[in-house]
Amino acid sequence: MKRSTFVLTASVIASFAGAAVAGPAAMTPEEARHLISRTGFGASPQEIKALTGLSYKEGVAAILDTVNTTPSTPMPDWVNGPDYPEVYIWTLGQTAQELFFTNRWMEIEELSGWWMSEMVATPSPLTERLTLFWHDHFATSYESVENAQWMGRQNQFFRAHAAGNFADLAHGILQDPAMLIYLSNIENIAESPNENLGREFLELFTLGEGRGYTQADVEAAARALTGHSIAELSAPVYTFYPEDHDDGRKSLLGQTGSFDAADLADIALAHPEFGPYIVEKLWRAFISDQPDPAEVARLSTLWREHDLELEPLLRAMLLSDAFWAPENRGRLVKSPVVLIAGTLRSLGTPVENSTGLAWLAHDMGQALFFPPNVGGWPEGVGWINDASATARATTLSYFAFGEMDDDVGTRTPMMAATSGGSAPAEGGPEDFRVGQVFTVDLEQTDAGLGGLFVLYDVSFEGQTWRSLPIWVEANTQEDYAGYSILKADCRPTCFRSMRGEEEEDWIWYGPWEGALEDDLSAASKQDIRLLQAIAGHLPGLIEITGDQMAWKPGPGETMPGIGEIVAMVQDLADESADAIGSTKTTLVQGLRAPGLLGLQGYAEVRDVDDIDGYLEQAEQARIRPAIPQVTYATAREWLNDLPAGGLDSKRAAAALLAVPRQTRGQREELIAEDVDALVRALILSPEYQVH
């Protein structure tokens, strides 16, 4: 194909003329590309064609309509699986401990890979952009949380409210286990407030630095947040501890009262200075690097009129003059994740290993689930320095040349196998089965002896429970002895006939003569049988696992030996047998379901040295591909699917770039002959780094 210079020039003029007459009534392909790319990851030929010709309003509505509260491909199963007994695991010894954290690392990598694949495949890229926006805004890092389940559940929380109401996000984040850990709020108690979460809530999450709050407000916010923590013994979820909460009067942002976390969120969001900080941040994510103060004020007012609903705010932003203004094209630097997912979506390129994509993003400075600090990732030109520029060019050259890094894989999609489940538990229905026992605390006081034990993965008469924490004590001074059992974890199928002490989830069993007529008069036969089994088997369980001590005595404290405790528990067992009868069950003990403990691969790992081998094998099984909805085998196929009209080089550039490329003396039609070279030149151009 030969084209004269005249044709090229005419086409350039025509394309600019086209842009000038474009407008709200009917989007040009360029405008469609702008809307799609700014609200998602790149723009595929299919996506561009679908929106071309629609009005701005219709296009924006079409995109907002896709926003979903759940992902299009399911998250890994374990995200909502059983909680692991993380605080106890190290008592199982170095091998189990390292295996446990190796498994968690694999999980967070798997989750990162899953998210990259979702971004590439989803029919609603805006859902992912918003979820990523909130992950960045309420930045929480796996690095200090070390719990992949919580990071996954936090991601579910962000997407559930991605375009919902900001108040739900602000309230919810104050009850999010990962956040409560990350910003030290589990340490924030009335006697010694910890300011970490209180400060960042005002500075980074709601009002913004220097906007209407003082150090005194930070301190009041910290006090309001005292006692908002996570459960320790039972499944680690958000829990409020009234005894750790400072319910004294606080002066917070001009109001006075005995505020708690919910009040803090309400007061911060009602503050007259709330709004612009968030709107500006959204502006810098979706419109340009230079928020317009008058527009920010208008949008903040509109947002408040809509009770902080995000959807109307986003709609107004996407329909604002600034969003469509030609001078704002190319004003946003693509983040690494947007660059990677956007390139694969734009070109319709599938990859085999989405975890490899997450690693590439990491190399460029954006490791999902690992924001660098509570301020989140860099933004705008902060993404680009000499080091990241070379990393970006290198990654894009992988894509452009089809020479995928080994970490990313070839273009042949290969469906991933999910990791294997846990081995079936052995033992008959009459057995009392216990997966693992952790000795959490042993106490010797003037009054007597006590010990706290957590039985994990407990099965009895066909029921299986996550865990059963049991406090056993003998108080010689006040002459009582017995068992306190936390039923929070085995609820609702355990001890249904037994009432807890007041509001607590602890039930009490004192094995003295007459217990059946007195304390246990209302207890069901099944609950009695469970008590028999617990009392009868506990001495043996403690003896076997007594060295699995979760905590060591603090300075000045003494701890009784395990032998003394076993003797005490054996005495109680004998008394219990006299009082309510002995158990008929056989104890089956051992790691029958290591998956429940988060110890996947336990059977294959005998010592620390085996872990690397297990890791390699297990990682392979967790790989999932990233496949755009429409894929192209060749660059020519891709080009042919673009909206018709104009020179090939111009059509390709219009689909991939927001601003014209400086040709630097090279005539476009020369490289248009070789479509591969054309695409490569376009995505390696500096102009491709912005959108």
Partner 1 sequence: MHTPSRRRFLSALGAGAASLPLITMPGFVAAVGQDLPKGKTLVLIELAGGNDGLNTVIPVTDPAYRGLRPEIGIAAADALRLDDDTALHGAMRACADIWEQGALQIVEGVGYPNPNRSHFRSIEIWNAGQGADSLARDGWIASAFADGRAPQPADVSGLVLGGEMGPLSGDGRFSAMRDEETFLETIENLPHMRHAVRPERAQSPLEHVLRTYDSAQVTGDVITRKLEQSSARHFEFPDSELGVQLRTAARLLEAGVEVPVLKVVQGGYDTHDNQPDEHAFLLADLSASMGAFADAMRQIGLWDDVTIVTYSEFGRTARENGSYGTDHGTAAPVFVAGGQVAGGFGGRRVALDQLVDDDLVHTTDYRDLYAGLLQDLWGITSPQAAQAIKLHHRV
Q: Which residues bind partner 1 (CB under 8 A)?
A: 183-184, 187-189, 191-196, 199, 203, 209-210, 215, 218, 289, 330-333, 372-375, 378, 380-382, 384-391, 393-394, 396-397, 659, 664, 681, 684-687, 689-690
Query: Closer CB to partner 1, residue 137 or residue 624?
Result: 137
Cα(114)–Cα(74) distance, rounded to whole angstroms? 9
For residue 363, the minimal CB distance to partner 1 (Å) is: 9
Residue type (1 letter), 233: L
Query: Closer CB to partner 1, residue 75 or residue 652?
Result: 652
Query: Closer CB to partner 1, residue 364 or residue 488?
Result: 364
Handedness of CA 50, 51, 54, 60 (dihedral sign): positive
Residue type (1 letter), 205: F
Give the other-Cβ count within 10 Å of 237's Cβ: 13
> Any bridge partners for residue 509, and if so which?
483
Q: Which of 569, 675, 538, 150 is nearest to 369 (CA)?
A: 150
For residue 335, the minimal CB distance to partner 1 (Å) is: 12
Query: Closer CB to partner 1, residue 403 or residue 501?
Result: 403
Cα(622)–Cα(418) distance, rounded to whole angstroms? 6
Query: Closer CB to partner 1, residue 524 or residue 666?
Result: 666
Would you state the structure tokens that stand for residue 532, as one six-digit string? 């028999």
Any alpha helices (H) in 138-242, and if so which ranges? 142-145, 148-160, 166-173, 177-182, 196-200, 215-224
For residue 657, the minimal CB distance to partner 1 (Å) is: 10
SS (H, E, C) 384-443: CCHHHHHHHHHHHHHHHHCCCCCCCCCCCCCCCCCCCCCCCCCCCCCCEEEEEEEEEEEE
Distance of CA 182 to CAs 113, 130, 176, 195, 683, Å? Answer: 22, 21, 10, 13, 38
Query: Closer CB to partner 1, residue 340 or residue 605?
Result: 340
Rg (CA), the chain: 30
Query: Closer CB to partner 1, residue 382 or residue 645?
Result: 382
Query: Closer CB to partner 1, residue 139 or residue 507?
Result: 139
For residues 408 and 360, is the Cβ–Cβ distance under 8 A?
yes
Q: Which of 601, 597, 622 is nearest to 82 (CA)?
A: 597
Query: Closer CB to partner 1, residue 613 or residue 686?
Result: 686
Query: Closer CB to partner 1, residue 183 or residue 265?
Result: 183
Query: Closer CB to partner 1, residue 202 or residue 534?
Result: 202
What phi and psi values does residue 116 have, to the nearest 5 degrees? -60, -40
Cα(678)–Cα(652) distance, rounded to whole angstroms? 8
For residue 221, the minimal CB distance to partner 1 (Å) is: 13
Would you state the structure tokens that stand for residue 68, as one six-digit string? 């979903």
For residue 190, the minimal CB distance to partner 1 (Å) is: 10
Burial label, 168 (beta-carbon count in 10 A; 0-12, 13-18, 19+):
middle
Cα(133)–Cα(217) distance, rounded to whole angstroms? 27
Cα(405)–Cα(600) distance, rounded to whole angstroms? 29
For residue 287, the minimal CB distance to partner 1 (Å) is: 13
For residue 330, the minimal CB distance to partner 1 (Å) is: 5
Cα(643)–Cα(586) distance, rounded to whole angstroms? 73
Cα(291)–Cα(279) distance, rounded to whole angstroms? 9
Would you state the structure tokens that stand for residue 674, as one six-digit string? 């070789």
Would you state the structure tokens that stand for residue 564, as one six-digit string? 């003394």
For residue 13, the minimal CB distance to partner 1 (Å) is: 22
For residue 638, the minimal CB distance to partner 1 (Å) is: 21
Query: Closer CB to partner 1, residue 274 or residue 399?
Result: 399
For residue 174, the minimal CB distance to partner 1 (Å) is: 17
For residues 685 and 326, is the Cβ–Cβ distance under 8 A?
no
For residue 395, the minimal CB distance to partner 1 (Å) is: 9
Residue 568, helix vs strand vs coil: helix
Would you state the structure tokens that stand for residue 521, as one six-digit string? 């008069």
Longest dimension (CA), the chain: 106
Q: Which of 372, 371, 355 is nearest to 134 (CA)?
A: 371
Residues in the chain: 691
Would you state the structure tokens that stand for residue 601, as one six-digit string? 């691969």
For residue 379, the minimal CB distance to partner 1 (Å) is: 10
Query: Closer CB to partner 1, residue 34 or residue 331?
Result: 331
Query: Closer CB to partner 1, residue 374 or residue 458?
Result: 374
Burial label, 611 (beta-carbon count in 10 A; 0-12, 13-18, 19+):
buried
Query: Closer CB to partner 1, residue 289 or residue 407?
Result: 289
Query: Closer CB to partner 1, residue 244 or residue 610?
Result: 244
Distance between first and last Cα of the chain: 31
For residue 171, the minimal CB distance to partner 1 (Å) is: 23
For residue 193, the minimal CB distance to partner 1 (Å) is: 8
Cα(73)–Cα(480) distance, rounded to whole angstroms? 56
